Amino acid sequence: MRVVMISKALLVGAYQRKAELLAAAPGVELTVVVPREWRGGGAHQRLERAHADGYALIELPLRFPGSFHLHHYVGLERVLADRRPDLVHVDEEPYNLATLRAVQAARRRYAKTLFFTWQNLDRRYPPPFSGFERAVYRAVDGAIAGSRDAQAVLRRKGFRGPTWVIPQVGVDAQVYRPLDPPRPRDIGTLHVGFAGRLVPEKGVDLLIDAVAGLSEAVTLTILGDGPERARLQARAVDRRVEERVRFAQARPSMAMPAFYQSLDALVLPSRTTRRWVEQFGRVLVEAMACGVPSIGAESGEIPNVLGDAGLTFPEGDADVLRQRLAEVYGQRELRAALAAAGRARVLERFTMAHVTEDTLAVWRAVAGL
């Protein structure tokens, strides 16, 4: 089975492990197409070549780079002509021009087609994007949704093809793992972390407010970049916690395990907006894989990701978040229980091996092989 996967997500080195595992499956010949870089949503991602064995990783330039809806790949037709795929897997939303053009190019070569969606809000798009979406729905042979909410949105919007629910990528549990031997933990301190885009919907201001009401032994590291950085730094000063709150630049994906391993707790305080709700919360499963107690807002997919292996709090409620942090700070047994439960949940549900196995099954079903 010859497969071409088109995915700007696979710019991230840690995520490329999925491609290696897919390519290692018997009978699979895999080509992955990525852009040279991606800027958008307050982030800048350059290609990290971390896991590139066993498959072809091809960089193509983009037209309209940085435009989520209008970007598309230059030279994709040549790649498809050369690779002659049985299946083209487009890791893009159906209302994006990149998806439509890739699907059209694949159909001209009689390849089966598949797209991926995270969209878990029933948003109706104006022309031409609504037209892109309808055309993709009519043309493809199947769709993968990152969550059951995203699958439900597809159905409400009229997609009638086969669908499967699989996270876009899993966690490499051999890389994202607890320290061995464990780092000594002092019950008298708590190092809290956040990793992600610094944008209003991620709720980092709420986390600063929660930490401000706790003991001076509670420190916070905010890892990431985005338009809210200066405002968040000013908020830490206003709450008089600037000496306990450290801002750090985003790290390459292969350096993230060391960050998680330095923490006593990770928090994802996302807040739902009219245009966005948390679609997964990947940092939660990465931290859980590293044996780090994880706390998340009751936003979108977060409660489903955490299950009973983490703590949740109502969206926007700094007081309850402060209470959750105080519980982790003061109870050694709770820290240990959450660390073990989080790791176990990732191994059961969210490993790269699980995602690969499920994705291969979909490929074979769609390709009829």
**What is the mean predicted confidence (pLDDT) over 16-33?**
97
Q: 303 by DSSP, 3-state: which?
A: helix
- pTM equals 0.90
Residue 187, pLDDT score: 63
Q: Distance between CA atoms of 352 and 170, rounded to whole angstroms?
A: 4
Is the domain of 48 the same as that of 158?
yes
Q: Which of 16, 115, 100, 116 is nearest to 58 (CA)?
A: 16
Does residue 181 sit within a domain?
no
CA 266 to chain centre: 16
Does residue 178 sit within a domain?
no
If pLDDT is split at 50, 70 and 90, which confidence band does 188 have? confident
Q: Which of 271, 259, 254, 194 is nearest to 226 (CA)?
A: 194
Per-residue b or e along 49-61, where b marks 16 or more CB atoms closer than 10 Å to that residue's CB: ebbbeebbbbebe
Number of structural domains in the chain: 2
Is the domain of 91 the same as that of 163?
yes
Is the domain of 164 the same as that of 200?
no
> For residue 278, what are the domain limits?
190-349
Is the domain of 109 the same as that of 237?
no
Residue 163, class by beta-carbon neighbours within 10 Å (0-12 exposed, 13-18 middle, 19+ buried)?
A: middle
Is the domain of 317 the same as that of 244?
yes
Residue 39, pLDDT score: 86
Outline where 157-273 has alpha helix (H).
204-212, 229-238, 256-261
If pLDDT is split at 50, 70 and 90, which confidence band does 300 have? very high
Is the domain of 131 the same as that of 226?
no
CATH assignment at residue 86: 3.40.50.2000
Is the domain of 239 the same as that of 355?
no
Is the domain of 78 the same as that of 151?
yes
CB atoms within 10 A of CB 184: 5
Q: Distance between CA atoms of 300 and 281, rounded to whole angstroms?
A: 9
**What is the mean predicted confidence (pLDDT) over 232-251?**
96
Is the domain of 159 the same as that of 24?
yes
Is the domain of 78 the same as that of 45?
yes
Using alpha carbons only, give the angle 269, 273, 279 rounded to the nearest 5 degrees. Answer: 60
The DSSP symbol for 171 reads B
- What digits encode the pLDDT tens for the residues 54-79? 999 999 999 999 899 999 999 999 99
Is the domain of 134 the same as that of 201?
no
Q: Which of 157, 254, 268 is nearest to 210 (CA)?
A: 268
**What is the mean predicted confidence (pLDDT) over 136-162?**
96
Does residue 51 sit within a domain?
yes
Does residue 176 sit within a domain?
no
Distance (Å) of CA 225 to CA 38, 41, 43, 196, 245: 14, 10, 7, 7, 15
If pLDDT is split at 50, 70 and 90, which confidence band does 45 have? confident
Is the domain of 134 the same as that of 24?
yes
Are 9 and 91 in contact by the 8 Å Cβ rule? The answer is: yes
If pLDDT is split at 50, 70 and 90, which confidence band does 41 have? low
CB atoms within 10 A of CB 109: 15
Lowest-confidence range among 33-42, 94-103, 257-266?
33-42
Does residue 177 sit within a domain?
no
Residue 33, pLDDT score: 98
Q: How many alpha carbons lie under 13 Å from residue 116 in its C-beta half-sphere? A: 21
Residue 181, pLDDT score: 75
If pLDDT is split at 50, 70 and 90, which confidence band does 185 have? low
- What digits encode the pLDDT tens for the residues 310-360? 999 999 999 999 999 999 998 889 999 999 999 999 999 999 999 999 999
Q: Distance between CA atoms of 275 and 254, rounded to whole angstroms?
A: 31
Does residue 272 sit within a domain?
yes
**What is the mean predicted confidence (pLDDT) over 239-268?**
95
Does residue 185 sit within a domain?
no
If pLDDT is split at 50, 70 and 90, which confidence band does 180 have? confident
Q: Distance between CA atoms of 212 and 71, rounded to whole angstroms?
A: 42
Q: Distance between CA atoms of 88 and 103, rounded to whole angstroms?
A: 8
Does residue 14 sit within a domain?
yes
**What is the mean predicted confidence (pLDDT) over 295-305?**
96
